[in-house]
Amino acid sequence: MRQFDKAAASIQELTSKPTDEELLELYALFKQGTVGNVNTGLALKLLKFY
């Protein structure tokens, strides 16, 4: 968790707004760091849909 806390703090020090793609990646990393890996088949079903 210590590495996550350091990464989260560094986000607060950004000098410019990240792009939408970067924000999406940051959000995905945040969710994985706070909730964990997706452990349901729903994500795979959604990916196959597209």
**Other Cβ atoms within 10 Å of 32 Cβ, number:** 12
The string of DSSP letters for the chain reads -HHHHHHHHHHTT-SSPPPHHHHHHHHHHHHHHHT-S--STHHHHHHHH-
User: Is pLDDT larger for residue 18 or for residue 36?
Assistant: 18
Q: Where are the domains of the chain?
A: 2-49
> What pLDDT, in 10s, does the model give residues 3-21?
888 888 898 998 999 999 9
Q: Does this model's pTM top 0.75?
A: no
**DSSP-based three-state secondary structure for 13:** coil
Report whether pLDDT(50) > 70.
no
